[in-house]
Amino acid sequence: MLFGFIIQQDLSISLTIAGSMMGVIIIAALIGTFVPIILNKRGIDPAIATGPFITTANDIFGIFLFFFMAKVFLGF
């Protein structure tokens, strides 16, 4: 966050990047916690199905969250 502020002299870019990173970490933790529990309750082995699903879901949510934060903070 500090590096982006020093280079661009614009706090909104730094807030966009920092906020989206924190949001992605929180979303990844929630998905990584609840998807195996849900799969286990449905009778699916979480060790097999969790890896690809969680990785794909984290990437998709991360991109959407970053674009949303860029729209809010930067006005795109």
Model confidence over 58-67: pLDDT tens digits? 999 999 999 9
Domain around 48: 2-74
pLDDT digits (tens, 9 = 90+) for 22-31: 999 999 999 9
Give 65's Cβ-side CA count (13 Å radius): 19
Is residue 17 very low, low, confident or very high in pLDDT (cuts 50, 70, 90)?
confident
Angle among Cα 48, 23, 28 to the nearest 5 degrees reads 10
**Number of domains within the chain:** 1
